[in-house]
Amino acid sequence: MTLTTFALVRHGQTDWNAERRLQGATDIPLNDVGRGQARDAVANLSGHDWDTVVSSPLSRAAETANLIAEGLGLSVARHVPELTERSFGLAEGMQAGPELEALRIPGGFQGAESEDDAAVRGLNALEALAEEFRGQRVLVVAHGTLLRVSLSRAIGRSLHSIDNAVLNLAHHHVNDGWRLEFYNGERLAADAPA
């Protein structure tokens, strides 16, 4: 049995996260809280030997990955463009309210990447990594919405939002697909919904 294990980690906090603004593909850096979250994540990841670390190229994910990798005595192997957060189009930078609602259309926002397209893109990227690093342990730092919709598609059920810099542990088997073991730092029962 060839099992590839993934730690899927959302980047640390940014000012836009703290202000509850939609970030999407806008390149917003980590804030000091986010840097602390990245350093704290090392403790939950240090019990495993990771073969490689990859991240989204957006600075909040790249810096989170660098801080985690450094804490584990590793380095980031590369940045994968397909792991960039879902684009929210004209809604990026906005907070909940009438202006944001005016941009809402079925399935998202005007000018945004659809959730389905983001899920396909993210899952394809993860499956390409599973093929490249078959049988290894891969640490991926990316983005909340991209990880949520990709994992939802992978396991066939809807997941709720992903917290900043917490452990999500998934396993990929060539024949049996994906299994999610930890979500938002909590171990899942084999048959429990996430």
Catalytic (active-site) positions: 11, 85
Q: Where are the alpha helices (DSSP H) in 72-143?
A: 98-102, 115-132
Q: What are the CA-CA distances from residue 151 to residues 2, 108, 159 (Å)?
A: 20, 19, 8
Strand ranges in 31-155 using DSSP code E only, listed in sequence order: 52-55, 78-79, 104-105, 108-109, 137-142
Residue 146: closest CA among 129, 121, 167, 171: 121
Which residue, among 150, 144, 192, has the nearest Cα to 165 in the 3D structure?
Answer: 144
The closest of 164, 163, 181 to 172, measured between CA atoms, is 181
